[in-house]
Amino acid sequence: MATVKCIGILTSGGDAPGMNAAIRAVTRAAIYNGLAVKGIYRGYKGLVTGEIKEFKSQDVSNIIQLGGTILKTARCKEFTTPEGRQVAYDNMKAEGIDALVIIGGDGSLTGARIFAQEFDVPCIGLPGTIDNDLYGTDTTIGYDTALNTILDAVDKIRDTATSHERLFFVEVMGRDAGFLALNGAIASGAEAAIIPEFSTEFDQLEEFIKSGYRKSKNSSIVLVAESELTGGAMHYAERVKNEYPQYDVRVTILGHLQRGGSPSAHDRILASRLGSAAIDAIMEDQRNVMIGIENDEIVYVPFSKAIKKEKPINRELVNVLRKLSI
């Protein structure tokens, strides 16, 4: 532990509400423990280009309520090459950084794992993604806020769907994970969710139509996870137009608005707890682990598990949605 005197923080991948709360927590917990802190701008790109600044406590004042990330985020092709990672390591050592805290999703943690293996750098990951798709943690930073954004949007769409007696397909983010679509459907009172986890098991559209939703409702909302596995909302709208032309169909794609906005209380608290725990992990000489939360307890999850294992969907939630959408 005596070798770690300065930590670097970066945010990588897609932004998520609560990332700033995590930056604040990591910075202040590090200073509290006598460590120096340096902020690395634009993710791994900033590590390669040397966009690094020393952070004091005041640098993270008044950011807990902000969406996005004050450290910015960017893609970095150079970091995917051994040569680029060598430049990043040289810059890191020149700045006196001994360990890294990486806030991001599976792509960000994959980069951290490779970097840690090549240069023996202690790396700690924080799960920052609205998709909630990282194994080993019950929830990820940004997921709760995104879910509430979806809820607000669907509540508004419901007014139009009811007024015009339409079937709406609402596409939400999640990549290849259906957590936002499924829980968003339950919370908003939607009639169904089409998620990638079941794309090969059965025809989700066919099941929805055959459930006889028109018997009791004159309008319906179906949440669809954006994914190559599902084909997205447009795919299902086209199918309905072709196979069930009697229905008046519309599509709403929520897109990047799901990533923005002030983080919810849940995400601020989660990010603060995980950020503080990241410094605890460094002080305990942990390395190459993601800080997660399970049953309201902090856990350390090896990068290999967090990245490689698929987070399972709770099938009981599917049954809840089926029961309540009659």
Known catalytic residues are: 131
Report DSSP letters for 27-51, one per residue.
Answer: HHHHHHTT-EEEEETTHHHHHHHT-
In 3D space, the residue among 39, 34, 177 whose CA is nearest the CA of residue 102 turns out to be 39
Residue 325, classified by CB atoms within 10 Å of its CB into exposed (0-12), middle (13-18) or buried (19+), is: buried
| Structure-block tokens of residue 35 | 């460590």
Neighbours of 324 (CB within 10 A): 12
Cα 148–chain centre separation: 14
**24, 60 Cβ separation under 8 angstroms:** yes
**Phi–psi pair at 267, nearest 5 degrees:** -70, -35
DSSP 262: P
Which residue type is seen at 30?
A
CA dist 282 to 6, 55, 121, 213, Å?
11, 18, 11, 53
d(CA 218, CA 163): 9
In 3D space, the residue among 107, 180, 128, 63 whose CA is nearest the CA of residue 291 turns out to be 128
Neighbours of 90 (CB within 10 A): 14
